[in-house]
């Protein structure tokens, strides 16, 4: 119960800070609509072409949104000494890691999901594929936070962490993006996307199982 209480307090603190820094919290939406507006200007406004590109474009926006706050996911706690307190006493580091990642997903992933129908409409994605797009984002964006958190923890004490973060996270998320965009593309072609969604769910479950353990170990390593 103690570990649960401390994790809840950490989550509430993170959300209060997010609301106080509302401008920074809205950056994911800015990236979403920047991608949606600028890419069609480069490739042309053809509805058929945009519809084919829509799944990838939305997922690129989700990835960029997830990367925004990764460098500062644990660094402020390391610099002010709070991170050391995570490992003091009987408090559960695992629960605290999950609380931090959940708040990161609420700030970076959920806004993309909420506004994805508007993005899909702007990109002429077939309406019968919209449900699959939303489901893929619901299943897959938590994995972005989990894998991003692992990369952030591994590079916590490293100079030039932002560059290393990109190098570490991109190979990890390639299967995620392939499964997610494949599911939406199949739905747009009136095919059954369940196989791709199943693989996407398995990938996220595997990330949820292993990533928090790896993050806790990497954070401990940075304190030694």
Per-residue pLDDT of the chain (224 residues; tens, 9 = 90+): 344 567 888 888 888 887 777 666 677 777 777 877 777 777 776 788 888 888 888 888 888 777 877 878 888 888 887 888 888 765 578 888 999 999 989 888 888 898 889 888 888 899 999 999 999 999 999 999 999 999 988 888 777 666 777 788 888 888 999 999 999 999 999 999 999 999 999 999 999 999 999 999 988 888 87
Cα–Cα distance, 217 to 119 (Å, whole number): 38
Determine phi and psi for 201, rounding to 5 degrees. -65, -40
Residues 86, 219: contact at Cβ < 8 Å? yes
Cα–Cα distance, 25 to 20 (Å, whole number): 9
- Give the DSSP letter of residue 224: -
Cα–Cα distance, 66 to 145 (Å, whole number): 6
pTM of the model: 0.87
CA dihedral 200, 204, 207, 208 (to 10 degrees): -160
Task: Count Cβ atoms below 10 Å from residue 158 Cβ, excluding itself.
Answer: 12
CA dihedral 69, 75, 80, 82 (to 10 degrees): 90
């Amino acid at each position: 119960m103690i570990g649960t209480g401390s994790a809840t307090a950490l989550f509430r603190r993170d959300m209060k800070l997010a609301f106080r820094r509302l401008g920074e919290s809205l950056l994911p939406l800015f990236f979403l609509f920047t991608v949606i507006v600028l890419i069609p200007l480069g490739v042309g406004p053809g509805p058929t072409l945009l519809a084919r590109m829509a799944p990838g474009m939305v997922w690129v926006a989700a990835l960029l949104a997830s990367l925004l706050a990764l460098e500062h996911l644990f660094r402020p706690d390391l610099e002010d000494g709070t991170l050391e307190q995570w490992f003091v006493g009987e408090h559960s580091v695992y629960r605290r890691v999950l609380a931090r990642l959940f708040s990161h997903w609420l700030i970076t992933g959920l806004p993309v999901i909420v506004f994805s129908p508007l993005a899909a409409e702007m990109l002429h994605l077939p309406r019968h594929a919209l449900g699959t797009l939303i489901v893929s984002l619901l299943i897959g964006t938590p994995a972005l936070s989990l894998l991003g958190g692992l990369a952030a923890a591994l590079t916590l004490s490293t100079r030039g962490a932002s560059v290393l973060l990109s190098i570490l996270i991109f190979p990890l998320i390639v299967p995620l993006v392939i499964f997610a965009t494949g599911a939406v593309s199949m739905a747009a072609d009136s095919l059954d996307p369940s196989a791709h969604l199943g693989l996407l769910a398995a990938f996220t479950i595997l990330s949820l199982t292993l990533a928090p353990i790896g993050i806790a170990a990497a954070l401990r390593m940075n304190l030694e």
